[in-house]
Structure 1
Amino acid sequence: MSDPDEIVRTFALQRIASLFNISVDLLNEEDVFGEDLKATRSSGLFTRNEYDAIEGDILDVCDRETYKTISSGNLTIYTVGDYCDHMVRCYKRKPKDVIATLKITSLS
């Protein structure tokens, strides 16, 4: 697997599986956050849940233009596939941030 897009997608899926404590084999790109993937605990003042981590990942890797698009509501990430696509897109603009966020060990 030497295609960087596929490597990023694979690590993005692994990140989601890890956060939700499920097998990567159980994930579908059509799975919807909040419907198919539910947080195990409430988010609160000092506690973070799975959705907070996903949101943090999404914002940590985006550039200013993408951040503006998200903030304006013109880009919403609902599904596992949306998250993976976002990571692949952002990898092209800010590869170091995506590598760090997804803990990618090798792109070859």
Structure 2
Amino acid sequence: MEVSERALFLWNNEHIVDLIAQNREVILPIIFEALDWNIQNHWNEVIHGLTENVLKMFVEMDDDLFDKCEAQFAEEKARAREVEEQREMVWKKLADAAAEKGGDHMVTV
């Protein structure tokens, strides 16, 4: 938690924010997933609040870029879900085939 908090406090430094604003097209796509994870999952209120502030800054800097990153992230999550579902179907088919051939030695996954 301390590392996350200190990293997010860098956003209080005007010079750092200026550098990030100048390079936002490169930086936001790299850190978007981590910021989203903090918003969705982090238990600490300070981290959550600091992350919300960072996201708000990016929206204010370039809302079109933010929307683009958000849409791209949503597509990546959907693809990852599809891959996971396909993987589970393959394992189910393998387990079913193993059960048909004599389930005494079947390994559950």
Shorter-chain TM-score: what band?
A: under 0.3
Greater relative contact order (Cα 8 A, min sep 6): structure 1 or 2?
1
Q: Which has the larger radius of gyration?
A: 2
TM-score (norm 2): 0.25
TM-score normalized by structure 1? 0.26
Higher helix share: 2
